[in-house]
């Protein structure tokens, strides 16, 4: 029981909910910060097949959500794209300057109008986003935990995987496509989730992450290849733990947020102290609480 919730919705083929992450940081000086507010995934269908052409696919949520695809003309045979990440970046507006990230939920397969219960053979639910290890996906009502985004690996840095006709382009993804063309997209995050590339399957969520004393930071260059694995950009993570940008009092909860992402920044205190050189010079210390919520895809 959580907050008195004793009922479980048994609907199958549900998109994964996004994560929640919060932390407090002390900033001894003013800095430039950038924010990405993740968009929710989309549950749609199209009557155009066109061999998984990106122009005909269903876009993922803003912030790196994976694209989905289907060519059916009836709504219940739709599929959902992945949710985008919500994140704060310091100094530069790129993936390698992110300091706190909340992972997005994975997209779902279609919802059959007559077989619509969780755990049935038609269930292709998406995994929850968030947490240091995000959720995988369901195929035909069976959970697959073999493809997970975490703190050091996933589909790719900062993007969820898009549906593909013949399976993943990544060597560590699901290498073969199977079943119909109603295929879902994965959620974005610190590392994005994996798509199932299965006509009866959902896709995985993206992981959350925060720069803290206990954070796992991948070594060397980190490749960010985008939702279609077709971008070549890799750099080392910019910050070191000794740079003075560590968060503390971390709360990291997966799978609790639906809809578009949300970012809350609260100034907890602002201290004004005379410097040792002159009372005319003031030193400001900001204690900020960052609270990030991320979306889940529509389903």
Residue 48: C-alpha distances to residues 26, 78, 173 (Å): 52, 13, 26
At residue 147, the pLDDT reads 98
> Is residue 247 a contact partner of residue 24, using CB atoms and an 8 Å limit?
yes
Domain extents in the chain: 1-299
Tokens found for residue 43: 């549950």
Measured distance CA(85)–CA(206) in Å, rounded = 8
Check residue 268 and give left, alpha or beta (phi > 0: left; psi -120 to 50: alpha): alpha
Burial of 126 (0-12, 13-18, 19+ CB in 10 A): buried
What residues pair up with 270 in beta bridges, in sequence order? 286
pLDDT tens track for 190-231: 999 999 999 889 999 999 999 999 999 999 999 999 999 999
Token pair in block for residue 29: 């000086």
Pseudo-torsion of CA 158, 163, 168, 169, nearest 10°?
A: -70
Q: What pLDDT does 257 receive? A: 87
What pLDDT score does 129 carry? Answer: 97
Looking at residue 291, what is its pLDDT? 59
Q: Which two tokens stand for residue 259?
A: 């809809």
Contact residues for 122 (Cβ-Cβ < 8 A; gap 6+): 12, 13, 109, 112, 115, 116, 140, 141, 200
d(CA 113, CA 42): 19
Question: Mean pLDDT for each 10-residue chunk of the chain (299 residues)?
Answer: 39 82 92 96 81 89 95 70 97 98 93 56 84 96 96 98 96 92 94 96 97 97 97 95 96 93 86 44 47 55
Identify the pLDDT of residue 46. 76
Contact between 229 and 166 (Cβ < 8 Å): no
| 124-142 pLDDT tens trace | 899 999 999 999 999 988 9
Residue 12 neighbours by CB under 8 Å, 6+ apart: 111, 112, 115, 116, 117, 118, 119, 120, 122, 123, 124, 125, 141
Short-list 240, 296, 299, 247, CA closest to 65: 296
pLDDT at 290: 58
- Cα–chain-centroid distance for residue 229? 16
């Amino acid at each position: 029981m959580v907050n008195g919730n004793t009922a479980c919705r048994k609907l199958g083929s549900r998109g994964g909910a996004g994560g929640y992450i919060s932390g407090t940081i002390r900033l001894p000086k003013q800095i430039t910060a950038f924010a990405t507010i993740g968009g929710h995934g989309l549950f749609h269908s199209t009557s155009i097949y066109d061999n998984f052409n990106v122009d005909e696919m269903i876009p993922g949520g803003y912030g790196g959500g994976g694209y989905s695809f289907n060519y059916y003309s009836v709504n219940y045979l739709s599929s959902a794209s992945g949710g985008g990440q919500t994140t704060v970046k310091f100094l530069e507006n790129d993936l390698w300057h992110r300091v706190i990230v909340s992972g997005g939920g994975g997209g779902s397969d279609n919802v059959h109008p007559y077989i619509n219960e969780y755990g049935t053979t038609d269930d292709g639910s998406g995994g929850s986003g968030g947490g240091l290890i995000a959720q995988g996906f369901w195929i035909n009502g069976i959970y697959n935990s073999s493809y997970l985004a975490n703190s050091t690996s996933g589909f790719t840095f900062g993007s969820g995987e898009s549906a593909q006709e013949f399976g993943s382009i990544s060597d560590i993804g699901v290498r073969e496509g199977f079943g119909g063309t109603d295929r879902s997209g994965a959620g974005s995050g610190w590392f994005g989730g994996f798509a199932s590339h299965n006509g009866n399957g959902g896709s995985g969520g993206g992981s959350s992450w925060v720069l803290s004393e206990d954070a796992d930071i991948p070594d060397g260059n980190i490749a960010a290849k985008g939702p279609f694995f077709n971008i070549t950009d890799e750099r080392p993570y910019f910050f070191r733990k000794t740079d003075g940008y560590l968060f503390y009092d971390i709360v990291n909860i997966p799978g609790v947020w639906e809809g578009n992402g949300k970012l809350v920044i609260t100034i907890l205190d602002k201290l004004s102290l005379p410097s040792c050189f002159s009372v005319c010079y003031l030193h400001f210390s900001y204690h900020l609480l960052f609270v990030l919520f991320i979306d889940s895809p529509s389903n």
